[in-house]
Structure formats: C-alpha cells, structure tokens
Amino acid sequence: MKANLVLLPGDGIGPEIVESAKSVLEVVAKRFGHEFQYTSCLIGGIAIDETGDPLPQDTVDACRQSDAILLGAVGGPKWDDPNAKTRPEAGLLRIRKELGLFANLRPIKMFDQLADASPLRPDIIKGTDILFFRELTGGIYFGQSGSGEVDGHESAYQSMVYSVPEVERIVRLAAKAAQGRDNRLTSVDKANVLEPSRLWRRTAARVMADEFPDVQYDVVLVDAMAMHLINRPADFDVVVTGNMFGDILTDEASMLPGSLGMLPSASLGDGGPGLYEPIHGSAPDIAGKGIANPLATILASAMLLRHSLDLNEEAAAVESAVQEVLADGLRTADIARGGDSVSTEVMGQAVTAKLA
C-alpha cells in the first residue's frame, strides 16, 4: 500500500527517537512491499523558535493530508518561561483538536524480559497486556466551570458532561480493537453515583449489544478498577473509560511495567489521520547524547501500522522484533538497571535487523 506519513520530531530527544522509528518503518515498507512517503514538520519549541508558533499552519495542513502522524516529544526548559506568549505543549493540544482526536489509546504491556523492572511482584504482573481507550475531548476537564458565593461561602464548580454520541464513538473504537485482540472489553465508570456515568453505562451497553454481541463485555467501577490494576492486571484486555477516569487509571497503569521508556500511545478520531507518540517526554537532560530509548516510539509506529494503516501483520512483526532484541539482552540506559547499555542507534538498528 501507499501511505503519507507526517513526522513531528519536536524537541529534546524527539528527533533521535523519531529517526529510529522511521528506520523501522522503512524496513517494514521494504519487507512487506509498501510505499511510505515521509514529510517532516515543525511542532513544539523548535516551531516556536523558527516561526513563533508551536503549531505552524504548514504542519496542520500536512497532518490533515496525511494518513498518520508520528510525534517525538515537545517541550524543554528553554521554553518554560511562565511569561512566554505560548508554550510547546500548546502545539500538541491544538493538533489533537484540529484533527478531532477524541480517543487516546494507551497499551500497557509487560515484556517478560523486563519483569524485574515492575514495582509489582512478577507473579502478579506476568502476562499483563491491556489496551486503554480514554475519551479525550469531553467529561469534566472540558465541562462548564465557575465560582461564586453559595450560602455566603466562596465556592467553585466544574461539570462532568457526557452525551450519547460521545460515548458511542469511543465505545465503537474500543470494541473494534477488542475484536483484533482477545475480544474482551471492560467499560469503567462510576454509575452508582454519577449521572453522566449512568448515561455512559446505558449507551455502552446498547452499542455492545446491538453492534458487538460477539465481544465479551463487562463493567467495573473506577475505584474498583484502581484496585484491580494492582492485584490482577493480567485479567484485562481492552478497557474503555471517560477522560478523567482514563487520566488517573492510565497513569496508574503506566507504572506497572516499570519502564516509561517502553510505552507508546495513540490518539484517534473518526476516520482521519491518527497521532502516534511515546508517553514519555522530551527528556532534555539526555537530548543529543544518543542514549534515549527509542522503543516506545518504535512501538508507537507499530500502533500506527495497526490502527491507521490496518497493517496488522506488519505491526505484530515490529512488536516481535522489539521482544527479540530484549530477549537478546539489549538495553538502553533507562532500562539497564545498572547493567550494560547500548545507544539509541544500536537499539534501533537491532530492531531493524530483526525485521529485514
């Protein structure tokens, strides 16, 4: 197939890890007979430096015309001045908005070779492989807010709101993803207390019954899910939830593998291009040293292959290659636990060598 990919290297270690992931995509294209075109665009601090805008219009246009976008990371101390007119992170928020990306995908997968890094006991973390779908553009973070006097006391409020279409579209995405995995979906809410959670639960149940009767479906309360992630994380397949609950639960879950440098993410909308990136930041302290861990970005490129290009075999090949280099004992400094470590380049080349 042919695909137009936009690369947004961004700041800090962004360029190094995106370069590494691009090499992997190039090898995949060659091996599987695809033609990927790459356009590199500015975002974040470097875009501020060169254009004054963390998301130049050229970048938006290129992203709109692309099939998928691979992002490194944005931000750094250089642009941290609180009096600055704009910040690198504003570029990231705006591109998500411009593209209507309402679903944030966060896989939490334990690589057996790194089980020692988990804060959980090996017998509990073993086999953990969860794919979270967090609703990204609704809920209380975007609800009406305000402050004023209530009964003579200074008060402030903010509303959690969900509408039926907002729930339908993310549940559909999550259920489809479940069909490509272990065919199980868990919806997390607080329907015993919250009105928008009751709407969420009702709507999700209807979508699942009408459109995905083959997918095994259950519901869990958010406080119970916060417990399950610690004492039986291996029991879950795909998990779908609202914006705030997803924020808390995916951050909690991101601790389980014990190595943030391994975790990719994706943001999807309806149809248009998806945005793929590592969950770690721009790590300005190690930028340019050639020691950053490229595996989260490489795994993000595997997600890109699967979710935006529908290239499941290719995605699985990349993921297997990552597992193999870990099994070979290769480690970047962040996951070496004091042992020998290799450079970004060596790690990237090891993955491409497995794929060639």
What residue numbers does the annotated binding site for substrate cover? 96, 106, 134, 223
Phi, psi angle pair for 176, to nearest 5°: -60, -40
- Comparing CB distances to a second copy, the nearer of 46 and 125 is 125
Which of 35, 195, 251, 313 binds Mg ion (CB under 5 A)? It is 251
User: Can you tell me which of 34, 169, 184, 198 binds a second copy, judged by CB under 8 A?
Assistant: 198
Residue in 141, 176, 182, 237 annotated catalytic: 141
Which pair of tokens denotes residue 119? Answer: 């804060």
DSSP string, 232-248: -GGG-SEEEE-HHHHHH
* Sign of the torsion angle spanned by Cα atoms 173, 179, 182, 186: positive
Query: Could you tell which of Mg ion, a second copy, none binds residue 339, using a CB distance below 5 to 8 A set by kind?
Result: none
Annotated catalytic residue 141:
yes
Name the catalytic one among 112, 214, 223, 270: 223
Which residue's CB is nearer to a second copy, number 81 or number 151?
Answer: 151
Strand order in the sheet with 2-10: 35-40, 2-10, 68-73, 274-278, 264-268, 103-109, 129-135, 238-241, 184-189, 216-221
Rounded to an integer, what distance in angstroms lies between the CA atom of residue 139 and that of residue 353?
A: 44
Is 136 within 8 Å of 102 (Cβ atoms)?
yes
Among residues 163, 179, 216, 312, which is the contact residue for a second copy, using CB under 8 A?
163
CA 348 to mean position of chain CA atoms: 20
Sites for a second copy among residues 246-305 (CB under 8 A): 247-249, 251-252, 254-256, 258
Q: How far apart are CA 268 and CA 133, in angstroms?
A: 10
Does 234 engage in binding with a second copy (CB under 8 A)? Answer: no
Closest CB 224 distance from a second copy, rounded Å: 7
Q: Report, in Å, the least distance between residue 247 CB and Mg ion.
A: 4
Task: Report d(CA 137, CA 275) in Å as an integer.
Answer: 15
Span 36-75, contacts to a second copy by CB under 8 A: none
Closest approach of a second copy to the CB of residue 86, in Å: 17
Rounded Cα gap, residues 62 and 69, in angstroms: 9
Whichever of 92 and 355 has its CB closer to a second copy, that residue is 92
Parallel/antiparallel/unpaired status of strands 103-109 and 264-268: antiparallel
Q: Is 38 a catalytic residue?
A: no
Q: Does 193 bind Mg ion (CB under 5 A)?
A: no
Site string for Mg ion, 213-242 (x = CB under 5 A): ----------x-------------------
- 2 counts as binding a second copy under rule CB under 8 A: no
Contacts for 249 with CB less than 8 Å, ≥ 6 apart: 132, 134, 188, 222, 225, 226, 229, 239, 241
Q: How far is the CB of 245 from a second copy (least distance, A)?
A: 8
Stretch that binds a second copy, among 2-10, 19-27, 226-234, 317-325 (CB under 8 A): 226-234
CA distances from 349 to 161, 196, 287, 294, 330 (A): 47, 48, 19, 10, 11
Active site residue 22: no
Q: Is 251 a catalytic residue?
A: yes
Name which of 38 and 142 has its Cβ closer to Mg ion.
Answer: 142
- Whether 253 contacts 106, CB under 8 Å: yes
354 is catalytic: no
Question: Measured from the CB of residue 249, what is the shortest distance to Mg ion in angstroms?
Answer: 10
**Site residues for a second copy per CB under 8 A:** 118-121, 124, 140-141, 143, 145-147, 150-151, 153-165, 190, 193-196, 198-199, 222-224, 226-227, 229-231, 244, 247-249, 251-252, 254-256, 258
Residues noted as catalytic? 141, 190, 223, 247, 251
